[in-house]
């Protein structure tokens, strides 16, 4: 599927025919429609007007396009905001918003909860016969948060369901601290700048903030579910999604993934992003969808508009990144947008059809070429899965808990630490699955849990079983510190991981931004950043040569290994450089009998997918130089049609792509 957002409502009807011709000629076969049409479709409280959309749908069908049908509830109408101000959000500082922008509906608003699913249902009812609608797209880029009184009330209800009693809530929130004991549910106020927060990050009661984040993610998800059900009522077999946003802090996508028929997402890396950073988003998104293929719903054909400096995507990059999405599990290549708007804040955002209105632009030509190429490939790797033997754990609760704690270091950043581990694996061409704590691990050989600060409930169990049965597990500093509600563990860190890792963590030192300690691993000296854990051996053995090189904890172990059952559990007591993670993880992979997809020169990525049509290896040259790749096996290159022989070395052009079937 090749195409993307098309907003005919922004243009005179007489231009639609020409637009569609330009799209067709570019190889587009799917359009996302109706993303921001609420105000148009429902001009008044009891008035609906589908006339224009009807005409669009007819024309689209005539032109042979598939449709991704949006419910257009991503921005509510102005009249609704005026008549029912409860639909407007209140921000983190208590400022009640007025009409404007988007992402603007309060998830607890009765008005929103009434009229959004009503519209979704009406759309499903009206267009249910259109068999070119291949998926439904609820709202748009859900996000943000609300801090209004309706949300406060809904939060209390959510808490009552979660905790049952105030005694239990007082215990979970440790309200004895700073005399916060609640004697009535109504006394609970939501955490924001007016109550518990020093600033956006630091909360004086992190447990309360943590629950509000959970509640808010759930509340917004409920809005999705209301529309989901309204559509299914009319079209039981509708395929429904909403476009996610990768590493997006506000929403616990692992919970969301279970409610979507398939995952789709919008990928907007800057030109400066490393290829591992881009891949990371794809792998996370595939993970929240349970490993199934996902849809790349949006990317920009050329420049964005919201970056500080919106550089053009260099020639070839749009194609390269499109294939990278496919390599990591996407079954679509879609764009925002088909035609560039004349007004509004996105008029400087790239599109297939630029303001000039013709196909005579560089961007159009590159897209049309890609469109043809994809058409030629057919659906050969559609539905293919990633055959990963490594799992990397990611968890929104850990992100939030670290974000809102005060101390030990302001530079402690969950995704940043996570990225260190992921990047090393990606740069060595190990395919990985991104999993959640508690997920089944039996299919993997190596499990990595970066910065596993909060170990919830019995999430240690699957790890313990995995290691006992022969798996290799590794985690790092500041892990096993707190439980589900951000209450510290008693009796010694790393709490439930203590027996698995065989160490006791007594205390940690926070290093200033520009300061580093060091340690030696396999004869090389590596830096130590951020936090230095001071650990004592219980059953583990020291793996690094001599512990920290400096300071009063010189000699304290940095890398430890615990033989546990048939497996091994490693601990790395500090943060380090990419060189370290590559050296260390490569040793672990070797020990765990995990092979990379292919060994390639620096800057060339290799990623695999498998389906009934075979085993595919995507080769992506992210550099501006020619690179030579050595093939240890026979294969067939699908883009050029070449046959590759084992032992052959093949040139990959700058920003070039190969798709090889083994």
> Taking CB under 8 A as the criterion, which residues in 510-549 touch its own copies?
510-513
Interface mask toward its own copies for 198-237; x: CB under 8 A: x---xxxxxx------------------------------
Per CB under 8 A, the segment of 5-13, 61-69, 260-268, 428-436 that binds its own copies is: 5-13
Q: Coil, strand, or helix at residue 119?
A: helix
Is residue 647 a contact residue for its own copies (CB under 8 A)?
Answer: no
- The residues near 641 (Cβ < 8 Å, ≥ 6 apart) are none
By annotation, the residues acting in catalysis are 141, 298
- The residues near 342 (Cβ < 8 Å, ≥ 6 apart) are 10, 355
The minimum distance between CB 440 and its own copies, in angstroms, equals: 31
Q: Any bridge partners for residue 392, and if so which?
A: 434, 448
Per CB under 8 A, the segment of 53-61, 87-95, 239-247, 466-474 that binds its own copies is: 87-95
Is residue 187 a contact residue for its own copies (CB under 8 A)?
Answer: yes
Is residue 369 a contact residue for its own copies (CB under 8 A)?
Answer: no
Is residue 569 a contact residue for its own copies (CB under 8 A)?
Answer: no
Among 2, 115, 173, 256, binds its own copies (CB under 8 A): 173
Q: How many CA atoms lie within 13 A of 105 on its CB side?
A: 30
Is residue 46 a contact residue for its own copies (CB under 8 A)?
Answer: no
The minimum distance between CB 193 and its own copies, in angstroms, equals: 7
The minimum distance between CB 89 and its own copies, in angstroms, equals: 10
What's the length of the chain?
A: 662
Is residue 191 a contact residue for its own copies (CB under 8 A)?
Answer: yes
Among 64, 164, 315, 647, binds its own copies (CB under 8 A): 315
- The residues near 311 (Cβ < 8 Å, ≥ 6 apart) are 271, 303
Give the total of residues touching its own copies (CB under 8 A).
115
> How far is the C-alpha of 480 from the C-alpha of 106, rounded, in Å?
36
Is residue 655 a contact residue for its own copies (CB under 8 A)?
Answer: no
> Taking CB under 8 A as the criterion, which residues in 447-486 touch its own copies?
482, 485-486
Question: What angle do the packed helices 51-62 and 16-25 form, to 10 degrees?
Answer: 30
Among 29, 32, 37, 574, binds its own copies (CB under 8 A): 37
Among 51, 64, 93, 387, binds its own copies (CB under 8 A): 93
CA distance from start to end of the chain = 24
The minimum distance between CB 475 and its own copies, in angstroms, equals: 19
Is residue 18 a contact residue for its own copies (CB under 8 A)?
Answer: no
Per CB under 8 A, the segment of 194-202, 226-234, 521-529, 558-566 that binds its own copies is: 194-202
Among 14, 46, 161, 343, binds its own copies (CB under 8 A): 343
**Cβ proximity to its own copies, 363 vs 447, nearer residue:** 363
* Tokens of residue 446, six digits: 């190596």
Distances, alpha carbon 624 to alpha carbons 315, 601, 619, 654, 659, in Å: 11, 13, 14, 5, 19
The minimum distance between CB 82 and its own copies, in angstroms, equals: 5
Is residue 21 a contact residue for its own copies (CB under 8 A)?
Answer: no
**Cβ proximity to its own copies, 442 vs 552, nearer residue:** 552
- Residue 254: enclosing H or E segment and its boundaries? helix 253-257
Distances, alpha carbon 231 to alpha carbons 57, 137, 150, 222, 224, in Å: 18, 11, 26, 14, 11
Among 290, 492, 527, 565, binds its own copies (CB under 8 A): 492
Is residue 179 a contact residue for its own copies (CB under 8 A)?
Answer: yes
Among 24, 39, 130, 518, binds its own copies (CB under 8 A): 39
Among 55, 162, 258, 314, binds its own copies (CB under 8 A): 314
> How far is the C-alpha of 376 from the C-alpha of 392, rounded, in Å?
35
> How far is the C-alpha of 227 from the C-alpha of 112, rounded, in Å?
11
Query: Cα 306 to the chain's mean position, in Å?
Result: 19
The minimum distance between CB 398 and its own copies, in angstroms, equals: 15
Q: Are 90 and 115 in contact (CB under 8 A)?
A: no
HEC profile for 513-532? CCCCEEEEECCEEEEEEEEE
Is residue 75 a contact residue for its own copies (CB under 8 A)?
Answer: yes
DSSP of 382-404: TT-B---SEEEE--HHHHHHHHH
Q: For residue 404, which phi and psi values (nearest 5 degrees)?
A: -100, -5
Is residue 7 a contact residue for its own copies (CB under 8 A)?
Answer: yes
């Amino acid at each position: 599927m090749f195409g993307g957002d098309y907003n005919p409502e922004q243009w005179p009807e007489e231009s639609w025919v020409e637009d569609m011709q330009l799209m067709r000629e570019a190889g587009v076969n799917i359009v996302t429609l109706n993303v921001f049409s609420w105000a148009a479709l429902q001009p008044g409280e009891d008035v609906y007007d589908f006339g224009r959309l009807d005409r669009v749908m007819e024309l689209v069908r005539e032109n042979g396009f598939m449709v991704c049908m949006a419910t257009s509830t991503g921005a509510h109408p102005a009249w609704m905001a005026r008549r029912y101000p409860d639909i407007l959000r209140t921000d983190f500082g208590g400022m009640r918003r007025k009409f404007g922008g988007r992402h603007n509906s309060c998830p607890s608003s009765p008005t929103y909860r009434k009229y959004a699913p009503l519209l979704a249902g009406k759309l499903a009812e009206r267009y249910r016969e259109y068999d070119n609608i291949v998926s439904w797209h609820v709202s748009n880029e859900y996000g943000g948060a609300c801090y209004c009184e309706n949300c406060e009330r809904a939060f209390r209800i959510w808490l009552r369901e979660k905790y049952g009693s105030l005694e239990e809530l007082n215990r979970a929130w440790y309200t004895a601290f700073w005399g916060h004991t609640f004697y009535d549910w109504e006394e609970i106020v939501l955490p924001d700048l007016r109550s518990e927060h020093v600033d956006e990050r630091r909360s004086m009661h992190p447990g309360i903030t943590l629950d509000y984040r959970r509640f808010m993610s759930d509340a917004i998800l409920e809005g999705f579910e209301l529309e989901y059900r309204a559509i299914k009522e009319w079209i039981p077999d509708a395929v429904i999604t909403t476009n996610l946003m990768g590493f997006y802090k506000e929403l616990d996508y692992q919970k969301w993934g279970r409610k979507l028929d398939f995952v789709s997402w919008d990928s907007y890396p800057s030109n400066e992003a490393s290829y591992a950073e881009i891949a990371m988003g794809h792998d996370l998104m595939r993970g929240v969808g349970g490993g199934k293929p996902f849809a790349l719903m949006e990317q920009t054909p050329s420049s964005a508009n919201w970056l500080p400096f919106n550089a053009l995507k260099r020639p070839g990059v749009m194609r390269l990144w499109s294939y990278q999405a496919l390599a990591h599990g996407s079954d679509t290549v879609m764009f925002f947008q088909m035609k560039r708007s004349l007004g509004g804040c996105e008029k400087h955002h790239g599109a297939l059809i630029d303001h000039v209105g013709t196909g005579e632009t560089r961007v159009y030509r590159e897209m049309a070429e890609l469109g043809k190429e994809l058409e030629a490939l057919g659906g050969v790797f559609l539905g293919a899965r990633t055959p990963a033997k490594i799992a990397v754990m990611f968890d929104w609760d850990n992100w939030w808990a670290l974000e809102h704690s005060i101390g030990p270091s302001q530079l402690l950043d969950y995704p940043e630490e996570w990225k260190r581990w992921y990047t090393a694996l990606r740069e060595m061409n190990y395919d990985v699955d991104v999993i959640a704590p508690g997920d089944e691990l039996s299919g993997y050989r190596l499990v990595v849990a970066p910065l596993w600060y909060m170990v919830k409930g019995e999430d240690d169990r699957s790890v313990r079983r995995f290691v006992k049965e022969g798996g290799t597990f590794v985690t790092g500093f500041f892990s096993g510190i707190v439980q589900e509600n951000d209450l510290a563990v008693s009796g010694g860190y790393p709490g439930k991981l203590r027996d698995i890792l065989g160490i006791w963590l007594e205390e940690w030192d926070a290093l200033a931004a520009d300061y580093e300690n060091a340690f030696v691993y396999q004869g090389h000296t590596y830096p130590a950043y951020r936090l230095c854990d001071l650990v004592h051996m219980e059953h583990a053995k020291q793996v690094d040569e001599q512990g920290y090189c400096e300071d009063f904890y010189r000699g304290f172990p940095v890398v430890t290994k615990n033989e546990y059952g048939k497996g091994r559990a490693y601990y790395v007591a500090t943060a380090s450089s990419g060189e370290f993670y590559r050296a260390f993880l490569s040793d672990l992979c070797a020990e765990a009998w995990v092979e990379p997809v292919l060994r390639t020169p620096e800057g060339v990525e290799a990623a695999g997918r498998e389906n009934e049509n075979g085993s595919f290896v995507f080769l992506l040259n992210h550099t501006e130089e020619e690179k030579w790749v050595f093939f240890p096996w026979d294969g067939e290159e699908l883009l050029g049609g070449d046959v590759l022989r084992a032992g052959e070395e093949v040139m990959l052009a700058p920003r070039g792509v190969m798709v090889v079937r083994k």
